[in-house]
Amino acid sequence: MNGAAVQRSEATSGRVIGRIDGPGPGPVVVVIAGVHGNEPGGPVAARRIVDALRDGTVPLAGTFVALVGNRPALQLGRRFVDRDLGRLWVPAEVERARGDAPPSSVEQGELRALVRELDALEAEFAGRDMLYLELHSTSGPGVPFQAINDTLHDRAIAFANPIPLILGVEESIRGSLLDYMETQGKSVLVIEGGQHEAPETANHLESAMWMVLAAAGAVPSDAGVVRDRGTRLRAAAAGAPAVAEVVYRHDTTPDDHFVMRPGFRHFQRIRRGEALADDVGGTVTAPMDGLLLMPRYQGLGSDGFFITRPVRRGWLSLSAVLRKLGVDRALTWLPGVQRDPLRPRQVQVDPHVARYLLVPIFHLCGYRRLQPRNGKMVFARRIEVPK
Ligand SMILES: [Zn+2]
């Protein structure tokens, strides 16, 4: 037993899987597990980390807190009860969750409880390094992977975790925690452990948490468990690209009766025109070549599948250099590009003047794409976490 490690909060809230305060200074790592109720691997994995840190075999610097996402849905084993909690993190919903009006859905109630926990942690640890981790699993099979908002700070943490890194998820899934934390300038990683019920999924999630804890300086990177889990993750991710970006998301509604064809897995190579699924309109084919990601083999959800493309590490190195040089200041010299007079971090791009070629240039320079406004493409400069 690590005498100096203190454990609190568990008796006060069923929301808290566990909290360990290490004896020394360090980052505050906040895990949210089970945002989707049919993904039991996350809470299992978070509980294992809490237990391991509590018995003191791996010394913790800083604080580790693990929270449950959607408790009613987890009890039912469903993705959600009324609304997808993984799509509710939009500013209006979060503000409502901070108010006193009665929740309009089961998930609004869950969002409220989570927002209050997070607000309390932010207040308690104001000025400290905070890192949020969201644990998920997928209905389709395949290797574990991670997603970040592409800041240089979060890249460095993700690069220490030897599973594929997916960029651009926050641009195609509105209302995810990833999307929300980006707008708040917070450091956040999403880890997808594998298929919901597969026995190795909780293992992958646990392993990835050890990698991230080490990368953040919360546990020693030469600890036995960190080295062992790194080896296992490298083996699990063999053959998958180190970094890829989302180039397409197939949106579905319940009326589409979307059914993915069997046999697809993460990072499977697909060709333009290849039959992937069926819906009311007939055969759904791939609109482009690429690597398939997250084929949906479950009833609930609005994402049919994603298509990604590998990103070269040289491209990422170039983008790090451009951002450090502040090259983005020159972007508004380009034709059709204007700074938003009301929102200093944002630029508006006239798609008739500046072509879509600009998207990779903005990504390179540290911008993310937002929803279009008034017929203009909109990009916002990402908020780098200060060193
Ligand atoms: Zn999920």
Span from the CA of 256 to the centroid of ligand 1 (angstroms): 21
Span from the CA of 60 to the centroid of ligand 1 (angstroms): 28
* Structure confidence at residue 13 (pLDDT): 53
**Quick one: 227 and 189 in the same domain?**
yes
Residues 323-354: b if buried by 16+ CB within 10 A, e if exposed? beeeebeebeeeeebeeeeeeeebbbbeeeeb
Would you say 230 and 223 are in contact if contact means Cβ atoms under 8 Å apart?
no
* Structure confidence at residue 356 (pLDDT): 61
Supply the CATH number for residue 304's domain.
2.40.50
Span from the CA of 129 to the centroid of ligand 1 (angstroms): 26
Span from the CA of 108 to the centroid of ligand 1 (angstroms): 17
Would you say 16 and 67 are in contact if contact means Cβ atoms under 8 Å apart?
yes
Question: Shortest CA distance to 192 belongs to which of 311, 44, 39, 30?
Answer: 39
For residue 105, the surrounding DSSP H or E stretch is none
* Structure confidence at residue 35 (pLDDT): 97
Give the predicted TM-score (pTM) of the model: 0.89
**Quick one: 172 and 300 in the same domain?**
no
**Quick one: 251 and 289 in the same domain?**
yes
Residues near 57 by beta carbon (within 8 Å), at least 6 away in sequence: 225
CA–CA gap between residue 338 and residue 351 (Å, rounded): 12
Residues near 387 by beta carbon (within 8 Å), at least 6 away in sequence: 153
**Quick one: 10 and 58 in the same domain?**
yes
Indicate the DSSP class of residue 83. Answer: S
Span from the CA of 190 to the centroid of ligand 1 (angstroms): 10
| In a domain? residue 387 | no
Would you say 46 and 134 are in contact if contact means Cβ atoms under 8 Å apart?
no
Supply the CATH number for residue 128's domain.
3.40.630.10
Q: Coil, helix or strand for 364?
A: helix
For residue 358, the surrounding DSSP H or E stretch is helix 358-364
Span from the CA of 45 to the centroid of ligand 1 (angstroms): 14
For the chain of 387 residues, list the mean pLDDT of each consecutive stretch of 10: 40 79 95 97 97 93 97 95 94 92 94 96 95 95 92 93 91 88 92 94 98 97 95 94 93 93 95 96 96 90 91 87 83 82 85 72 84 86 74
Instruction: Tally the domains of the chain.
Output: 3
**Quick one: 156 and 277 in the same domain?**
no
* Structure confidence at residue 386 (pLDDT): 64
| In a domain? residue 224 | yes
CA–CA gap between residue 206 and residue 49 (Å, rounded): 7
Span from the CA of 304 to the centroid of ligand 1 (angstroms): 14
